[in-house]
Amino acid sequence: MAAYHLAICEDDPDERAHLEALCSSLLSARQIDHTLTPFASAEALAEALEGDTGRFDLLLLDIQMAGMSGMELARTLYAQHVPVRFLFITGCADYALEGHSVHPVHYLLKPVELEALDQALYRDWQAHHQARAMIFRMGGKTVSLPAGDISYMESLNRMVIVHLPGEEHAFPITLADAERMALPALFARCHNSFLVNLDQVKSVGRTEVLLRDGSKLPVGRRFYRSFQSALVRRINRY
């Protein structure tokens, strides 16, 4: 699996070193292979990205910096369609709405909370770097299915039916088991009996989800808000 490459752009040297140490500790604790590259200014990071736009997966940007701000850099890179994601670090919550147009992974307020940083990094890594297969077992048989090809999983007669284009597989597990196995950034419950691949969603209403393959699934009342939130996070991941 490819390493997870992060850039930390912060003009305060103490803050920069602290953030680098936190990221390294959290990613190492989760056994995620990674690299961390610190930058003292947005200009230095912009220069590093010239001619090598795929160098980093995630940029941790201080929104307010002397010279070019982290927000300005993010807008420039986003307008140029540079394939990188942004995690904003800010001392002022007022900037959250301002940066919505570049679809950041998250906003973290200073001082950065350890748990919030851990979750932001882990969710981003899961969405883009974790293995893309789901492993199911039936007796002594192991079945590997491409996670991205799964349209949805359904709980039926004490089995989970995994629906893929043109085929179905049944496994003697619960839907809760399948949910624990699935990537949380890719799959979400729309109903007590259905776990949906968010990339396969064409539209969603109060009572029904329409998938790209034409399947229509019910939306449970207690799952509506969480499903909508999960779908928005998935759409805004780029």
Q: What confidence tens digit (pLDDT) does each residue in 61-104 have?
A: 998 888 999 999 999 998 888 888 999 998 776 655 555 667 88
Same domain, 91 and 12: yes
Token look-up 């890719």 returns 186
Rounded Cα distance between 9 and 84, Å, is: 14
Rg (the chain; Cα; Å):
20
Both 102 and 140 in a single domain? Answer: no
pLDDT at 138: 80
- Among 98, 128, 158, the domain-final residue is 128
Q: Among 38-47, 91-100, 107-116, 188-197, name the one with the lowest average pLDDT.
A: 91-100
Residues in the chain: 238
Q: Where in the sequence is the domain holding 140, given as residue range(s)?
A: 133-235
Query: What is the number of structural domains in the chain?
Result: 2
CATH number of the domain encompassing residue 121: 3.40.50.2300
Distance CA 23, CA 211 (A): 37
121 and 152 part of one domain: no
Question: pLDDT, tens digit, for every residue of 24-53?
Answer: 999 999 888 899 999 999 999 999 998 787
Across the chain, mean pLDDT equals 89
Half-sphere exposure of 223 (CA within 13 A, CB side): 21
d(Cα 56, Cα 52) in Å, to the nearest integer? 9
Q: What is the CATH number of the domain that holds 220?
A: 2.40.50.1020
Q: Choose one of 128, 161, 176: the last residue of a domain.
A: 128
Residues 144 and 46 in one domain: no
Are 63 and 153 in the same domain? no
| Same domain for 153 and 75 | no
Confidence of residue 10 (pLDDT cuts 50, 70, 90): very high
Asked if residue 69 and residue 54 are part of one domain, the reply reads: yes
Sheet holding 216-218, edge to edge: 201-204, 208-211, 216-218
Task: Identify whether the C-beta of residue 78 lies closer than 8 Å to the C-beta of residue 102.
Answer: yes
Domain boundary among 128, 161, 189: 128
Residue pair 113/85 in contact by the 8 Å Cβ criterion: no
pLDDT (average), residues 121-149: 81
Cβ(117)–Cβ(165) under 8 Å? no
Residues 34 and 112 both lie in one domain? yes
Model confidence at 197, in pLDDT bands (50, 70, 90)? very high
Nearest CA among 105, 15, 17 for reference residue 64: 15
